[in-house]
Amino acid sequence: MAPFTSLDIGNITLRNRIAISPMCEYSAIDGVPNDWHLVHLGSRAVGGAGLVFTEASAISPEGRISAADAGIWNEAQQAAWARIVQFIKTQGAAAGIQLAHAGRKASTDVPWHGGKPLVGVPGAWTPVAPSAIAFDVGYAVPTALDAAGLRKVVADFVAAAVRAREAGFDVIEIHAAHGYLLHEFLSPLSNRRTDAYGGSLENRARLLREVVAAVRGVWPQPRPLFVRVSATDWIEGGWDIAECVELARWLKADGVDLIDTSSGGNVAHAKIPVGPGYQVPFAARIRREAGIATGAVGMITTAPQAQQIVERGDADLVLIARESLRDPYFPRRAAAELGVKIPIPEQYQRAW
């Protein structure tokens, strides 16, 4: 059945079209992933997914959402990821890493301590952003990036991509969604610059495209390169699907293989019509109008949903997030529901 057909993308073949979406675990120490991450991500590989993504992995200390975020800005982090990557791949899944910079949404507490912004307290740091506009009441006013700061962001993405390559990852995804740094540049609500990085769509997309080009320099085709976007800010005057389609056309020309299509995150109180598959139409439109492969994500919780998305041609890849937290073996359950036989680890075969 459709979700369990293979997918050729770049120089790899995914065993099926179900991917585990990047999900922050807020459990790293000094950015170093640990046994929690090994078990968490390894379980999803054993669970049958075709592609398993790490959480958003910071390219620099200041690019973390919280101090408990995983990162890939030093050798200790690279070595820890290499161990996890090796296990994921031994289970037949591809290993992907999402490279991220939190921008103005950095310096927050972990969710189970309230997730509030840390401002003027021990352990806090000053975020950076396209413009000196706080995300919301209570958040720090970020420092607007100057020319040197912009160069550092690009260089940090490149260094992270090199480490990802050395750690053995199969796929890199650049995080340009959810109100984090690269999305902040895209949206006119958070980007009020008057230089070459603000104003027109071409200018607002400049930093993301520079990052993509620079990463491609060390992660050359045909290695798969994804970009996660928010298709809309869900508010009048913000980033929208029409601009996102145009961006996707440019990114395709820049060497991006797939657009992982989410939404929102840049406006604190946007009214988002959340419901099953509510973001799928955005993935479908980008796929249709930009002529690039897409991934669909967002409240996809059942096998029939996944099947319909692929069969209708709305997306090439189905990304499962919270449903995989509830059930690490969602792909195996979906395969059983759809009457598809997929390989079972030798250790588990007596249960089938």
Rounded Cα distance, 9 and 172, in Å: 12
Closest to 103 in 3D by CA, of 186, 200, 20 = 186
Query: Please, what's the largest Cα pairwise distance for the chain?
Result: 64
Rounded Cα distance, 83 and 217, in Å: 25
Task: Examine the residue annotation and report whether 180 is marked as an active-site residue of this protein.
Answer: yes
**Beta-sheet strands, E only, within the chain:** 7-9, 12-14, 18-20, 51-58, 94-100, 128-129, 143-144, 171-176, 225-230, 258-262, 293-297, 317-320
Quote the tokens at residue 173. 């995804």
Rounded Cα distance, 38 and 72, in Å: 15
- Residue 32 burial (CB count, 10 A): 17
Query: With 0-12 CB in 10 A as exposed, 13-18 as middle and 19+ as buried, what is 201?
Result: middle
Catalytic residue of the set 180, 197, 278, 348: 180
Rounded Cα distance, 219 and 139, in Å: 35
Query: With 0-12 CB in 10 A as exposed, 13-18 as middle and 19+ as buried, what is 275?
Result: exposed
Q: How far is CA 185 from CA 6, 140, 284, 329, in A?
A: 35, 18, 24, 37
Q: Which residues are catalytic?
A: 180
